[in-house]
Structure 1
């Protein structure tokens, strides 16, 4: 055992540093095993993959070795919320005990920081905005006078999607970089400097891969070089990496660029009226192109839709206006730094636009998605294994990948292959919770098939029956927004329980209200299947409407299936099934979050017993009691409540 591993083992031992300094800390064998494995990976510059189920204490298990390790490290989390929780809650507790002199830093993407330059521009243009947006701007300006970090996450008075936010934050496209007159005072620059000087930097996966995509060798412009990288919630990495190793262009980017040009004309280049006119034409053609698609938000195969005459014609007009705008801007280069930057954006957008029209290239999925006002084109690589795996092999760093859900029935090969990993060790650690006593899994008998019309009324009856016998709270997790909305309508008519529906409020507020209610029903889709921690009686029943297979019309999935067929691979068993198993494990993991929790997991999909692949789902779930009787499950809810 290395010296670091010995120190880590001592920290987690009985009467060790953590037990002496943290109230309620108790040594756990699985946590000790993970901590020593992480320590070994840090010493050997290796790759370690760890599935640590709920209750293992994986956060402390990787934090302690990183804090005791003398080299610089990066910890990447799945979301900004988890990033903040780690930085403000978990990390300080361990740092104070183990390494009080370690310098730590929190680093987010540029859109999370106030941009002083864009705040001034917004102030100059504010007379054209509605009173509501002007009030938002006033709130920003008042906060700007007292903030030290410039992190807009501090702004509790404004919603995350407030209209003013894109006007006072920067993107990679509109940031002036070192040419900005406020470069030395830039909050993003200050945050990066702090990260460069820190021993431990906490980021999130989106920032990590956005930055990595900028520069294949070493890190890009934000993340400093490090000796080790720890990925928490690492099951998200393959899909996030695919997004950032591809290309995308949205009509919002084009519109924002045109709006920035109009603002520049109004404030600094008033003699370039032609610039303003062509910007308005581009905005108009962007809107016309959106109207060529169906009204409702959707996703589709761009290879097929690009051939439709109406979309081709509208896209051609958009391209002509973009080319004209680029020509006009070129004649004024050198007059203004902001204009020069906008010209570079325009050239980059044109390059991406032309690239995304060439859909005959192999190895990529070409797809699009629409919102109420915009269209986004995507070119996504079907695999990131070669690119990401090569980067890991060429680096001289330690890499740790951990999550509660990585293995498929004790097998890590699906995860390892998707990322091109060559781990020196894989480790699977079971939860210390007593699932056999704390939880029951129920697959109700005589359910219709998931696709049958009768399934909707059957699901409603299951929810009503379960909630009648559950004095605590209930999660109902859906695989589609359509079914969620139909159940929300039905439950508002048939249940008197407090009802919380995804989309009616922010996720954090919705969870807080649900927990405070104590006996509510929360309806959620994908974002509530993971990263949600509700303990105690506030959540005693989780109902899942059906097995979470990806939608068959998902264009990226279709491309991967087509690619698998060409290579003679069974797409269902190698792509669709593993992803669904991981998703179900995540959803099931919402139920038991503490040693004193108890509850029932109900899955309303009889394919678990009628299809051979159902056994893979069952083997991947915790060792709960099992029943086909909904009455037995309800009885368990009643009895377990009486004994707690």
Structure 2
């Protein structure tokens, strides 16, 4: 599409700025698309920067504070460009929001003939073939799972997309999901009897025909690693790629650009092999023996680690992981390789009897190759470790995605690289002018940088309190004191409180103490991550004390630090248990720190503090989501007020009013509870 200036993208006369500026002006297209739209200088500034990048190519990194409206800032110029666009987000939730709400509103408001498509990973779509196999699976979980399968079968008759997100009441943790979805390993491809009606392939075809395609970071990097997700065909046809929630890019990317082997993968393979063998080639191969050998080898590999604490991450710098006897580890890997080899041989004898068998043989071969890789030395520029939990996970990972981004995306120095437009944006990308926390590991040192401040009046909307008399975070009494602070605030506010923890141990300790404090009183309900599905926790927290119900305190960790939007008076107190420094014993953290020290840099100043600053900003960002919100942030770590680096971390937070004493803290809570309009 030729733009209004009469030139093609990349040519001197090409400009998107005028139509973009018009869209954000009073009475423009945005006023028709957004409820109660108000022109914001920061939003327009970002939109114009995105427009310039689209017009002239290159990479743009934008940190846009909460409330800027960054979604419309990149969508408007992308849509007005008339070109094919790839939009990538970190979460399926934002994917669904972009595709189901934001894009349709803008397309209608701008009056553009734009075709949009949503593309997720395989695990999001119902696999019709595996659904049929599940009905005949001898190892099916239980009667409840059978009832759930019946509901899925009924839904399968009416769904157009096959997206499991459409299915109400399906718990994201359900053991049924792996049985009715496919993976790269077990998909039969064009040999599948359900290939023509396959939801994954239909979604890919629609993506190839669309003008705007919404994907997620996991899908993007999975394709970069194995060229299998359908992106291999899509990406070359797209000149503009925009990554929202870009702060997750590096950690998402390293998951896919290395290698991993899990006992779960082995057991899934064994289950699928047994199911297909008994259904299509019963009696032709001793399936029970071959499968038992794989399962036993997987269990023995786990047992070779010993009684290591669950959820532990063990360094692996020598022949075997830390604390694991090398000979036992070597023997377990050899037995596993032998079991995979026997599986390959057995499957080869029946390869022509059903399309399932050649694919299973490929899976067995790939598993055997992974075992060989982990039996050899680690790649020099990578780090290796094992995760010990319900299953064992062997991991070899690059330290960052910089080289992959430079070589495979930006293609620095090539004509193709200079003509493409890349936009990366998030509310939190670093705590320095160059946003080094994000740009260095992502290979974006040469990108244009733009920082747009939040339009919120933080000094009048929020305040921050650091208790000076609280014990140090490593003290056994710390979790109890955090719970006491949260309980006092929740009582004054009638709930409306979220406690964010940095460890699962603190999550359990604080959650249990709060539940003990409010047990039987009926005034406050304490919700703890892990006790209910995340979706249900959020639904109950949003309900709060409405309709005569008790108010809520939510104690959470990990994914609740970001991507949780609770505007209005739903959430008015956020309590963070301690400064979120990266765990020093983590092998990936250690390897990144060692690399910086070898470069003559300070790992604490250049890695640990920026990591903590970004995480702290993410956690604090849960508090104020709209211009009318009010709230208090409590950081239960006196180092924020007493240590020199505390000033740098405090500067990373929004400019909230600082409270100096417990009396000030209680007075602030009282003002919120009486809906006072300001702190000062």
TM-score, length of structure 1 as denominator length = 0.96
SS of the aligned residue for 1:125 comes to: coil
1:190: how far off? 0.4
Match of 1:535 in 2: 567
Specify whether residues 561 and 422 from structure 1 end up closer, same or farther in structure 2 by C-alpha distance, changes over 3 A only: closer
| Contact 1:588 1:601 survives alignment (8 Å) | yes
For 1:471-501, what per-residue CA distance to the aligned partner results, in whole angstroms no more than 9, with x for missing partners?
A: 4501110001111111111111223422111
Partner of 2:540: 513
- State the match for 1:378 in structure 2: 395
How far did residue 410 of structure 1 move? 3.6
Map of 2:448 onto structure 1: 425
Two-structure CA RMSD over aligned residues (Å) = 2.1
Residue 332 of structure 1: CA displacement?
3.9
What aligned pairs does 1:136-151 form with structure 2 within 5 A after superposition?
136-151=148-163
Alpha-carbon offset, residue 334 of structure 1: 4.0
Q: Which residue of 1 aligns with 2:665?
A: 633
Where do 1:37-436 residues align within 5 Å? 37-125=49-137, 130-215=142-227, 219-220=231-232, 225-293=237-305, 294=307, 296-303=310-317, 305-306=320-321, 308=325, 309-372=327-390, 374-394=391-411, 395=417, 396-436=419-459
CA distance in 2, matches of 1:312, 1:170: 32
- 1:25-48 CA-to-partner distances (Å, cap 9, x unmatched) read 111110000111111111111111
Distance in 2 (CA, whole Å) between partners of 1:216 and 1:147 is 25
How far apart are the structure 1 equivalents of 2:140 and 2:26?
65
Query: 1:458 & 1:338 partners in 2: Cα distance?
Result: 57
CA-CA distance at 1:292 after TM superposition: 2.9
Equivalent runs, 1:464-479 vs 2, <5 Å: 464-471=487-494, 473-479=496-502
Residue 469 of structure 1 and its aligned partner are, at CA, apart by 2.9
Write the deviation string for residues 354-393 of structure 1: whole angstroms up to 9, x where unpaired. 1122234311110111222x21111100132122122233
2: distance between equivalents of 1:297 and 1:122? 30
Q: How has the CA–CA distance of structure 1 residues 123 and 98 changed in structure 2, closer, same or farther, with 3 Å as cutoff? A: same
Alignment CA distance shift 1:242-1:21 (3 Å): closer
Note the alpha carbon deviations across 1:95-133, whole angstroms, 9 max, x for none: 111144100011100111111221222223368653222
Q: Offset at 1:197?
A: 0.5
Q: CA deviation at 1:461?
A: 2.7
For the Cα contact (< 8 Å) 1:67–1:99, is it kept in 2?
no
Per the alignment, residue 483 of structure 1 pairs with 506
The separation in 1 between residues aligned to 2:479 and 2:388, in whole angstroms, is 28
Q: Is the 8 A contact 2:479 2:577 kept in 1?
A: no
Residue 423 of structure 1 and its aligned partner are, at CA, apart by 4.4
1:211·1:222 contact (CA, 8 Å) conserved in 2? no
Q: 2: distance between equivalents of 1:616 and 1:23?
A: 37
Please state how far the C-alpha of 1:317 moved relative to its aligned partner: 2.1
- Whether contact under 8 Å (2:126, 2:181) holds in the other structure is yes
Distance in 2 (alpha carbons) for counterparts of 1:301 and 1:502? 28
CA drift at 1:66:
1.0
2:30 aligned with 1:18: yes
Aligned counterpart for 1:586 among listed residues 611, 618, 634: 618
Alignment of 1:446 with 2:450, yes or no, is: no
Give how far 1:58 is off.
Answer: 0.5
| Unaligned residue ranges in structure 1 (runs of 5+) | none
User: Is the 1:447–1:605 Cα contact (8 Å) retained in structure 2?
Assistant: yes
Aligned residues of 1:333 and 1:339 also touching (Cα < 8 A): yes
Alignment length (residue pairs):
643
Q: 1:522 aligns with which of 518, 542, 554?
A: 554
Distance in 2 between the 1:219 and 1:408 partners?
33
1:455 alignment counterpart: 478
